Structure 1
Amino acid sequence: MKEIVTIQVGSFANFVGSHFWNFQDELLGLAEDPQSDLVFKNQCLDMDVLYRTGETQKGILTYTPRLVSVGFQGSLGSLSSRGTLYNEIPPVPSDVVSTWTGNISTHSSEPQKKNLFLQSLDEEEQEKLGMMNGTKSGKDDSQSKIRNKAIVESLENGVQFWTDYSKVQYHPQSLYELNGLWMDVQEFDNYGLGRDAFSEGLCGEEITERLRFFIEECNHIQGFQFIVDDSGGFSGVAAEFLENIADEYSNIPVLLYNVRDPVSYMKPRSRKQAISRNLHDAISFSRLSSFCKLIVPVGLPSPSRSKASKFLCIEDEKPYHSSAVYASALHSISLPFRMEPLTPAAESCYVSGAVDVNGIIKMLAGQSRQNMVTTLDVAMPAPSLTGKQADQYLLGNMQPLTPETAEEVEDLQAVESMTIHGTLGPGGRQASISEVKDSVQTAYEHAMTRPKFSYLSVASCPLPIPLPYPSIFGNLVGQHGELLGSPISGNPSRGSLEIHSIPMAARLRSSTTVLPFLQNRLGNLRRFGLERGALGTEILRSWGFGKDELEDTGETLSNMVRTLDPHPQVSSDSD
């Protein structure tokens, strides 16, 4: 077993992470449920890769994510920063000497009330305790259905925090709030603010110490799964954190997803804000990429209007919605990292294509081109392997979740890693591993272009849809994610009450499709930061950037562009 430590930095990163951990929790529950489908009982996934075992002071065994989450103070909603499993109250030093003689003002707020979903989790815990003591539950199926419908409606209309829909128990070392940064009173919108926040007080040391806690109990750590909301100041926090990681754990690879909420693409209020945002994007991406082995930009300006939402009903203004799509893709891409080694006895069924984080990085960033920026594509749900054109249909449904990518680009040097799981075959049954492999091979044989190298991982287990998952599926999606020939009447958007699981296909691609993304950032940095008389000089100086550091930042972006295009023509989308 090779462990992974997950790091989530920033508001939207934690929204994505909350869905991601809900999937893992659902898989754990389905594996133990005697009523669940056989495909969930034979997942062939080693959950110890992502989770750690522990024990409370009362001797209760725990199983919690190996996670460090960083967010604003006050961003945990009704959840304590110490989680709910370990309820010890930290001791207050008795020898504290107060030397302040001036006036003292206290600012406090009412604790957040738990929503219906979180209340239902508490009730379930009480019911479990009651059953252990011989007490039977008083609820019947009809009552549960009514309650679940009310829960789904309340989440659709009332999610404020990522903890509002989290069904996972967290370790006290996992949840870190940046002291003094209240999410409702401070604009935390640029790289410079994040850089300063990390260095102020003991913030950097405290976050790094929490990470060290999880690393030191690992036996054979395979890498870091790092998710950062890079649209504002948290990219600065993440970059400083990553620099510490690079210094202390230089041999542990970092797979970095920089994610963005559609709301972050709102039109700037002024010319100055537009310049600041363009510079932030360039600086942020260059700095983050400097401290990881592979970086994957994720987050479309309008998922609802993208090709990726062909079978989805997404509301762009709800981070609860878009983060669910991105988390689904991240779950799929990460499956090979925890697939159990294939044995002769299991060869005919459950998983194939296990690979660790370092293997994926070498595959995508270690080829002759040596580019470490990849795009993320997804088919959600993945189509079934039926019909005359099923092979082409699978590849044709793969759509980018990475912004500013080029379409229909022929790249003979492209390298990719694809994960397909839960695919349906003829008659709605689960397709076998060999059927999926044959279908993908046939698809590429008939494709107009094909990558130089493609690695395929396949699993029989589909993506489970837990109760707090948003109602984002269209009326052409069936109960098990099958794509229907005619729409289901009624509500156009469907969720966990109607959809139990879906097949997924996700792909990381190292290719020239990411060139526009890189060229735009390089062009904006040159125009607003590096050229003589650039309008953003004062902004960059206020962020703490000198001339030499800016030139290094520009060189990093130039090298990325040059790797994919030896004769670049830099463009800019500055306005």
Structure 2
Amino acid sequence: MFSIEKTIVPLPIPLVPGTSSSASQEIYSGGSVQLWSDYLKVPLHPKSVYVVRQYMHDGVCGCLEAFGQGESLLQDPGCIEELEDRLHFYVEECDYLQGFQVLCDLHNGFSGVGAKVTELICDEYSGKGILTWGLTPVMSDMADYQKNVYRLMNTALGIVHLSSHSSLFCPMSLSGSLGIRPQPPITFPYINYDASLNYHSSAILAAALDTLTAPYRLCSSQGSMTHLAETLNFSGRKVVAAWASVPFPALQGYSLPDTLCTYQQDVPWKLLSSCREKKVSCCFAQSVVLRGICKEHSISSCPGKQPTSPLHACENTEQALQHYLHTVFPGAFSTSHVLEQPCSTLPPYPQFFSPLLTRQGFLLDKPPSYSSAGVESIPVLAALQSSPVLHTLLYSLYKDLRKLNTRRWASFFAAGVEQDNFQDALEELRTLSQCYEVGFEADESEDEADLD
């Protein structure tokens, strides 16, 4: 897995902590910790880390802040040769190479680095899967107008270039919007996290990512990266949205059908792709993973009686989840996977959970009278969707950038991106957004195009 972000350190996935037994009960609150990887105790091979020395990590100046700066880094023959050498080192160790995962910042110059890396991988390993995850921070510095505009331009260029060279591209963030106007961060009913702490937000995203990628990482799985991409990216829809329920709201002692029946009108997950959520049950295709639900939760809690719903008539968790998806998303192509293994939340995972959760992450009717030692694991429901909500995400970003007078931002284009190329990228962003139009959205965008 390539992780192209400020830290240049792979995200610790799966979430298996490297702590001693004496620290297993410690409650982590975050404090001065900024990133998940600050707690990373997994030894990294020297060839797995490539340090960009030309730019500072988080200084006032000398930051990698523009897409063109990132692109120019990988135009250096020495840098490309070094990257190719590291790639070949790991590829030669593979018995069966499915493809590559690329984690990349979207909002800064690393979007340009990611664009060049995915282009390099696409050219070097054609036919292999490339799944790219574009990450943005929860909180943005809205007071600094230049940084905000740079964020928008980097994000737009990143989406266009990364999606064109990837099998599948997914923007991920707990931010409520990628656009010029700030939106409140995503909230979760049973997590009390601090949106200003990357330690907290990255832990939630890591739990979702660990769940979403399980179908092609498990030895027992029949699918692959390429298979997952092909089920979701037809008709030019190479961008997908991520959804997750962290934790999945399963009541202790109740069956899975009991839980799903309470969410017939409104699915329990939250959108993790920086877009104002629409209460519309509609998607073109989806891959759904439910983990941490044991077999005893799959059937009715009252065996021998007449099933109270079609869900209760299902024989196992797989059937119950598949039936639920077909009911809530009629006409959509849905694949589902059910894993008994829950998501581990032992230290260093932050303990920001509701007191209503048991140590195994199941819901209680009321907080326990005793003091809990912390939540050790949680069930998680996560989905990748090719959905009309992406039209809102992509087209809103396009509209925000169309309103800008790009001539005012000569410093951004001095870094290497031509203004004509930027305008071409904007049109590609608009075309990409049109792949997700349905009904009134198509009419609305056509009316706005006439006004342009």
Report the secondary structure of 2:166's partner residue: coil
Name 1:559's counterpart in structure 2.
431
Q: CA 1:310/1:410 → structure 2, altered by over 3 Å: closer, same or farther? A: closer
- Separation in 1 of the partners of 2:427 and 2:238? 15
Name 2:353's counterpart in structure 1.
473
Q: CA deviation at 1:406?
A: 4.3
Name 1:18's counterpart in structure 2.
11
The answer to whether residue 292 in structure 2 is matched with residue 422 in structure 1 is: yes
- Separation in 2 of the partners of 1:225 and 1:410? 29
- Separation in 1 of the partners of 2:387 and 2:8? 25
Name 1:381's counterpart in structure 2.
247
* Pairing 1:87-236 to 2, within 5 Å after superposition: 144=22, 148=24, 152-153=27-28, 156-160=30-34, 162-185=36-59, 186-200=62-76, 202-236=78-112
Name 1:260's counterpart in structure 2.
136
Name 2:308's counterpart in structure 1.
none
The alignment's C-alpha RMSD in Å is 3.3
- Separation in 2 of the partners of 1:551 and 1:356? 36
Contact 2:5 / 2:110 at 8 angstroms: preserved in 1?
yes
What amino acid maps onto 1:187 in structure 2?
C
- Separation in 1 of the partners of 2:417 and 2:134? 22
Q: CA deviation at 1:498?
A: 1.5
Name 2:269's counterpart in structure 1.
398
* Pairing 1:439-450 to 2, within 5 Å after superposition: 439-444=320-325, 446-447=327-328, 449-450=329-330
* Pairing 1:338-357 to 2, within 5 Å after superposition: 338-341=217-220, 354-357=222-225
Name 1:274's counterpart in structure 2.
148
- Separation in 1 of the partners of 2:353 and 2:12? 16
Report the secondary structure of 1:418's partner residue: strand
- Gaps of at least 5 residues in structure 1 are 1-5, 27-117, 125-140, 342-352
Q: What's the TM-score once normalised by structure 1's chain length?
A: 0.66
Contact 1:276 / 1:539 at 8 angstroms: preserved in 2?
no
Contact 2:247 / 2:378 at 8 angstroms: preserved in 1?
yes
Q: Could you give the per-residue CA deviations for residues 315-369 of structure 1, whole angstroms, max 9, x where no partner exists?
A: 111111100110101111111113334xxxxxxxxxxx64110111000002xx3
Report the secondary structure of 2:194's partner residue: coil
- Separation in 2 of the partners of 1:525 and 1:302? 18
Q: CA deviation at 1:277?
A: 2.6
Report the secondary structure of 1:321's partner residue: helix
2:316 to 432, 435, 443: 435
What amino acid maps onto 1:230 in structure 2?
L
- Separation in 2 of the partners of 1:428 and 1:490? 29
- Separation in 2 of the partners of 1:204 and 1:490? 58
- Separation in 2 of the partners of 1:199 and 1:434? 56
Q: Could you give the per-residue CA deviations for residues 422-461 of structure 1, whole angstroms, max 9, x where no partner exists?
A: 11566899x9x952223224434653x4352110111111
Contact 1:386 / 1:425 at 8 angstroms: preserved in 2?
no
Q: Could you give the per-residue CA deviations for residues 289-314 of structure 1, whole angstroms, max 9, x where no partner exists?
A: 12111111100226996565111011
The answer to whether residue 37 in structure 2 is matched with residue 7 in structure 1 is: no
- Gaps of at least 5 residues in structure 2 are 178-182, 302-313
Name 1:136's counterpart in structure 2.
none
Report the secondary structure of 1:439's partner residue: helix
Name 2:191's counterpart in structure 1.
312
Q: What's the TM-score once normalised by structure 2's chain length?
A: 0.83
Name 1:512's counterpart in structure 2.
388
- Separation in 1 of the partners of 2:402 and 2:434? 15
Give the paired residue count: 421
Q: CA deviation at 1:169?
A: 2.0
Q: Could you give the per-residue CA deviations for residues 471-517 of structure 1, whole angstroms, max 9, x where no partner exists?
A: 121111111110111124688xx8xx511211111000001011111
Contact 2:242 / 2:272 at 8 angstroms: preserved in 1?
yes
- Range with greater deviation from structure 2 (170-179 or 201-210): 201-210
- Separation in 1 of the partners of 2:249 and 2:174? 22
Report the secondary structure of 1:297's partner residue: strand
Q: CA deviation at 1:258?
A: 0.6
Contact 1:371 / 1:560 at 8 angstroms: preserved in 2?
yes
- Separation in 2 of the partners of 1:451 and 1:539? 48
What amino acid maps onto 1:460 in structure 2?
E
Counting aligned pairs with the same residue, the percent is 23
Report the secondary structure of 2:435's partner residue: helix
- Separation in 2 of the partners of 1:442 and 1:307? 28
Q: CA deviation at 1:12?
A: 6.9
